[in-house]
Amino acid sequence: MENSQNSNSNPNPNPIRIQNLVSSPIAVLWPTIDGSLGLSEEESVSYARRFYKFGFALLPFLWAVNCFYFWPVLRSHSFPRIRPYIVGSAIGFAVFMAIISSWALTFAIGGERLFGPVWDKLVMYNLADKLGLTGWS
**Structure confidence by residue, pLDDT tens digits, 61-106:** 999 999 999 999 989 888 999 999 999 999 999 999 999 999 899 8
Distance CA 95, CA 99 (A): 6
Answer whether residue 5 is part of any domain: no
Range with the poorest average pLDDT among 51-55, 100-104, 122-126: 122-126
Answer whether residue 26 is part of any domain: no
Total of domains in the chain: 1
Task: State the pTM of this model.
Answer: 0.66
Answer whether residue 90 is part of any domain: yes
The residue type of 63 is: W
Range of the domain at 52: 41-131
Answer whether residue 14 is part of any domain: no
